[in-house]
């Protein structure tokens, strides 16, 4: 299992937009829109998206979960101990790039600034996750 954690410094952050809290209907709509956005992003960048993407917005957090993201060659490679390390490392690189590419969009989309994030890849389980904590409560 590979994971990385990032904490954002307050001195470099810009003023967050203190938007309204999402009601249940708005929360579900935002989750759906983000799911479509994330699936499209990975399909464009990697040529393959995840088989199952789950987006959860709760309190001051966003959790993005994906299962079934490995290509057929990666599934073959991950079956060995050394291959597992290689696939985890390469997919962690993808996760870092996803964060760089998408954090500005996600912050604008939710009207909040990210203050902490972590992502992890478990290639052996064909699973990845990205969790983000924001500077304000997002939901009612």
Closest to 125 (Cα-Cα) out of 64, 51, 61: 51
pLDDT exceeds cutoff 50 at 40: yes
pLDDT of residue 1: 57
Q: What is the mean pLDDT of residues 54-66?
A: 97
Which two tokens mark 32?
A: 């759906």
The separation between CA 91 and the C-alpha centre of its own chain, rounded to angstroms, equals 12
Q: Where are the alpha helices (DSSP H) in 1-140?
A: 24-46, 72-77, 81-110
Residue 42 or residue 136, greater confidence: 136
Q: What is the dihedral of CA 100, 101, 106, 109, to 10 degrees?
A: 140
pLDDT of residue 13: 40
- The whole-angstrom separation of Cα 138 and Cα 45 is 29
Q: Residue 43 belongs to what H/E stretch?
A: helix 24-46
The separation between CA 113 and the C-alpha centre of its own chain, rounded to angstroms, equals 15
Q: Where are the domains of the chain?
A: 2-10+17-134
Q: What is the mean pLDDT of residues 42-54?
A: 86
- The whole-angstrom separation of Cα 4 and Cα 114 is 15
- pTM of the entire structure? 0.82
- The model's pLDDT over 63-118, given as tens digits with 9 standing for 90+, comes to 999 999 898 899 999 998 899 999 999 989 988 999 999 999 999 999 999 999 99
Which two tokens mark 98?
A: 């996803």
């Amino acid at each position: 299992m590979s994971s990385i954690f990032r904490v954002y410094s307050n001195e470099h952050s810009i003023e967050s937009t203190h938007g309204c809290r999402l009601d249940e209907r708005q929360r579900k709509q935002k989750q759906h829109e983000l799911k479509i956005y994330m699936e499209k992003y990975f399909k464009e960048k990697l040529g393959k998206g995840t088989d199952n993407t789950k987006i959860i917005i709760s309190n001051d957090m966003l959790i993005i979960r994906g299962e079934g993201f490995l290509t057929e060659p990666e599934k073959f490679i991950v079956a060995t101990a050394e291959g597992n390390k290689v696939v985890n490392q390469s997919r962690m690189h993808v996760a870092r790039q996803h964060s760089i590419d998408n954090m500005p969009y996600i912050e604008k989309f939710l009207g909040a600034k990210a203050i902490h994030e972590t992502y992890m890849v478990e290639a052996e389980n064909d699973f990845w996750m990205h969790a983000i904590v924001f500077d304000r409560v997002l939901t009612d």
